[in-house]
Chains A and B, each alone.
Chain A
Amino acid sequence: MDFVGAYAPAHLKFLLEGFVVTLEVAFLSIFFSFLIGIVIGVLRYSRIPFLSPVLAVGVETIRNLPLLLIIFFTYFALPEVGFKLDKFYAAILALVIFESAMLSEIVRSGLNSIEKGQIEAARSSGLTYTQTLWHIVLPQALRRMVPPIVGQFISLLKDTSLAVVIALPELMNHAQIINGQNVNYVIPIFLLVAVMYFVVNYSLSLVSRKLEHKHI
């Protein structure tokens, strides 16, 4: 084990660059999959004829595929039909497709968990369906959804490492490149990489715990 050699400034800088890509991919994917997940979850909850069943089929299909396959699909298969994406965007697209499906299920079950009486009280006072959804159901459901949604964000951040298969220059990819130079770097580098993932993900869980106890 060569901690001194492994943690040379150039290596640390290289790892950090990789981590920035990891975080960029993760946060862009989180942002878009959160929006799309809410929209799909609400549309399925609202039981719109035709649309809701179609979305159900789509969500179920994606949820039952490995993320790795979806990454291969967006990077290797889409170009075959004339839709070529840069690694960075191919990874984001794959993560957004996969995580939107997962998040939409969290949103849908969160909405379903709101008591019928809440909806009846709102509707009986003349609020429309949309007003009831917006002012009564969503705010309460979102608060309940915070822990599973943050859990999903955390797995998303970890899943960005799967993009190593398309050589996206993220944290794991850079770690592997450094490790390739000297086998004595492997343990120190993986330890550092573990710490980097842990710090960000654990901070996310702490934020989630804070939010849970707040009146939103």
Chain B
Amino acid sequence: MIQVTNLKKSYGSLQVLKGIDVHIHEKEVVVVIGPSGSGKSTFLRCLNMLEDFDEGDIVVDGFYLKDPKTDLNKVREEVGMVFQRFNLFPHMTVLDNITLAPMKVRKWSKEKATEKAMQLLAKVGLQDKAHVYPDSLSGGQAQRVAIARALAMEPKVMLFDEPTSALDPEMVGEVLAVMKQLAKEGMTMVVVTHEMGFAREVGDRVLFMDGGVIVEEGTPQQIFDAPQHERTKSFLSKVL
């Protein structure tokens, strides 16, 4: 589904990604962990070209992102993204937040988009919030709406950029539950997170990043129970 080869990126003289190689398969849940500044968010944001990169190749669903002939909007139709800060559109109701892209990009009718939106709101447990504005939602509710908004495009892959990091602790669970359900339904997911419990329970594969490289990767059991590298061990000893 996603093939990343020798991905490199610098901000000025600071190289943040120093050659990433990874292949993400269909229906796979890949969890990316690592300390702040390890490049994990930058890596994720390269996958839908929110960040441009300097070297290497990324192929998403058959599209070469660096190919000038590739229409990035077409790629992004298939790649949903959920952000740390939700980024709901504050001037639109919850329903309009969710139906906007399906109507404008997929050209669905208002009826079809609304029906899909209501299904998704039911799925994340927020049918009663369809007609409110985002500023009246709690953080956990806002993030569940953001997930519903991304799913409304019926993407093939979902990217999660620290989706629970801006939440009060008691709201983390409700968001993780939605993500867990999504994984169970077979969604291909790449999740950057500090939730080690989620990584262990839901991840098919865990990537540990530090200093712009993937230091170690493996199943959750391999990474959490038997880490091989010193840096992995020292990171996990601090967060577990």
Contact = CB atoms under 8 A, between A and B. Distances in A.
Given A117-B85, A131-B104, A135-B100, A123 B91 contact: no
Interface in A104-131: 115, 117-118, 120-128, 131
A120 B87 contact: yes
A140 interface: yes
Contacts of A126: 73-74, 76-77, 101, 105-106, 153
A123 B105 contact: no
A136 interface: yes
A216 to B, nearest CB: 7
B149 interface: yes
Interface string A31-43: 0000000000000
Nearest to B75: A126
A148 interface: no
A127 B92 CA distance: 16
Interface in A62-96: none
Contacts of A115: 87
B150 interface: yes
A127 B91 contact: no
Contacts of A123: 50, 76
Contacts of B73: 126-128
B32 interface: no
- Chain A interface, DSSP helix/strand/loop, else mixed: helix
B89 A120 contact: no
Interface in B58-87: 73-74, 76-77, 79-81, 83, 85, 87
Given A124-B50, A125-B80, A143 B101 contact: no
A124 to B, nearest CB: 4
Interface string B104-128: 1110000000000000000000000
A118 B79 CA distance: 17
A125 B76 CA distance: 6
Contacts of A118: 87, 89
Given A125-B80, A126-B73, A120 B50 contact: yes
20 contacts: A117-B83, A118-B87, A121-B83, A121-B89, A121-B149, A122-B101, A124-B150, A125-B77, A125-B81, A125-B100, A125-B149, A125-B150, A125-B153, A126-B101, A126-B105, A127-B101, A127-B104, A128-B73, A139-B91, A140-B90
The 10 A-B residue pairs whose C-beta atoms are closest, nearest first, are A121-B87, A125-B101, A126-B77, A117-B87, A124-B81, A126-B105, A126-B76, A126-B73, A139-B91, A140-B91
Interface of A: 115, 117-118, 120-128, 131, 135-136, 139-140, 143, 215-216
Given A125-B100, A126-B106, 6 more contacts: A117-B87, A123-B76, A124-B76, A125-B105, A127-B105, A135-B100
